[in-house]
Amino acid sequence: MFDIDPDALDGVLRAHFSAHRYEHTQGTLELAFELGDRFGEDPQKVTLAALLHDYCKIEGSGEENNLLHGGMAADIMEREFGITDADILNAVRYHTTGRRGMSRLEMILFLADTLEPGRTYADVDRLREIALRDLYAGTYETLRSLEIYLDREGFLMTPDSIEALAWLEEMIMEE
């Protein structure tokens, strides 16, 4: 399906990322793997999405790069890395916001990015535990915690995140 050599890609990423971003990427890969294993996702898709999700993240930059770096990375993955799988590209594109109708891979990357072992904020252990039990509940609770954080900092949630929360509420009610 993909002909990207993992060792060559690791070399590219070591050269491309700061030490901090490389560590975060490895942590994201680790948790994404655990979630992928638990919920039956293709490990190759999990790997590519996790390794490249922050390819366009600029350290210490403001809100704009924060909101745009997922979409920028998805574009580069398609153009420069030749990755055409829509699910991988969507997972990267929406990894900071989520969206209505997120796929299993999209939820896995969103959760792994937010809850990876290098994250240390107050609620992270509880959220990780929920995520490893139930993808939908984990994504819902993690987005809720993001909403509370943004509200406290004086930021608004993006429309995609608001829609993701509404959708997850519907999904959880149906269970």
**Residues of the shown chain interacting with Fe ion in the complex, contacts defined by CB under 5 A:** 54, 113
Report, in Å, the least distance between residue 79 CB and Fe ion. Answer: 19
**Which residue is listed with tokens 């954080």?**
149
Burial class (CB in 10 A: 0-12, 13-18, 19+), 20: exposed
Maximal C-alpha separation, the chain = 46
- Closer to Fe ion by Cβ: residue 118 or 132: 118
Report, in Å, the least distance between residue 76 CB and Fe ion. Answer: 14
- Closer to Fe ion by Cβ: residue 149 or 172: 149
Query: Residue 168 and residue 171: Cα distance in Å, rounded?
Result: 5
**Which residue is listed with tokens 């937010």?**
114
- Closer to Fe ion by Cβ: residue 74 or 171: 74
Q: Would you give the distance in Å from CA 34 to the centre of its chain?
A: 14
List the one residue out of 110, 112, 84, 82 whose CA is nearest residue 96: 110
List the one residue out of 159, 164, 146, 31 whose CA is nearest residue 103: 164
Report, in Å, the least distance between residue 56 CB and Fe ion. Answer: 9
- Closer to Fe ion by Cβ: residue 71 or 171: 71
Report, in Å, the least distance between residue 54 CB and Fe ion. Answer: 4
- Closer to Fe ion by Cβ: residue 41 or 113: 113
Report, in Å, the least distance between residue 4 CB and Fe ion. Answer: 19
